[in-house]
Copies of this chain bind each other. A is one copy, B any other.
Amino acid sequence: MSLDGVIARDTKSPLDSPPWARAAVDGFACLGDDVLHASLQKPARLALLGQAMAGEVFCGKVRRGQCVEVATGSSMPRGCDCVMMKEYAHNENDFILIGERGYPSLNVSARGEDVRRGEVIARKGRRIRPQDLGILRSCGIREVLVKRKPRVGIAITGSELVRSVSALGAGKILESNSLMISSLVKNCGGEVVFSRMVKDEKVSLQRVLEEGSRKSDFLLVTGGSSVGKKDLVSDIVDPLFSGVAMRPGRPFGFSRNPPVFIMSGYPVACFIQFYAFVIPVLERMLGTEIQKFAFGILGEKVASEVGRRDFVRVRMEKDLVYPVALKGSGIISSLVLSDGFITIEENREGIEAGEKVCIHMWV
Interface residues of A, Cβ cutoff 8 Å to B: 1-3, 14-15, 17-20, 22, 24-26, 52-57, 71-75, 86-87, 109, 113-115, 121-122, 129-140, 142, 158-161, 164-165, 168, 170-177, 179-181, 183-184, 186-187, 199-200, 223, 226-229, 265, 267, 271, 293-296, 318-319, 327-328, 330-333, 335-336, 356, 358, 362
Q: Which of B15, B186, B333 sits near A115, CB closer than 8 Å?
A: B333
Across the interface, do A72 and B331 meet the contact criterion of CB distance under 8 Å?
Answer: no
State the Cβ distance, A249 to closest chain B Cβ, in Å. 14
Across the interface, do B75 and A170 meet the contact criterion of CB distance under 8 Å?
Answer: yes
Across the interface, do A228 and B336 meet the contact criterion of CB distance under 8 Å?
Answer: no
Residues from chain B with a CB closer than 8 A to the CB of A174 are: 17, 137-140
State the Cβ distance, A63 to closest chain B Cβ, in Å. 20
Q: Knowing A3-B187, A54-B160, A115-B332 are in contact, say whether A138-B176 is a contact too (CB < 8 A).
A: yes
Can you list 12 A-B contacts with CB-CB less than 8 angstroms, sorted by A residue number? A15-B165, A25-B226, A26-B226, A26-B227, A53-B159, A53-B200, A55-B159, A73-B226, A75-B170, A114-B330, A140-B174, A295-B318
Across the interface, do A180 and B328 meet the contact criterion of CB distance under 8 Å?
Answer: no
Q: Which of B140, B176, B186, B295 sits near A165, CB closer than 8 Å?
A: B140
Residues from chain B with a CB closer than 8 A to the CB of A56 are: 159-160, 171
Across the interface, do A72 and B296 meet the contact criterion of CB distance under 8 Å?
Answer: no
A72 nearest in chain B by CB position: B226
Across the interface, do B26 and A73 meet the contact criterion of CB distance under 8 Å?
Answer: no
Across the interface, do B20 and A170 meet the contact criterion of CB distance under 8 Å?
Answer: yes
Q: How far is the CA of A358 from the CA of B362 in the complex (A)?
A: 19
Q: Which of B1, B55, B265, B332 sits near A158, CB closer than 8 Å?
A: B55
Q: How far is the CA of A20 from the CA of B160 in the complex (A)?
A: 12
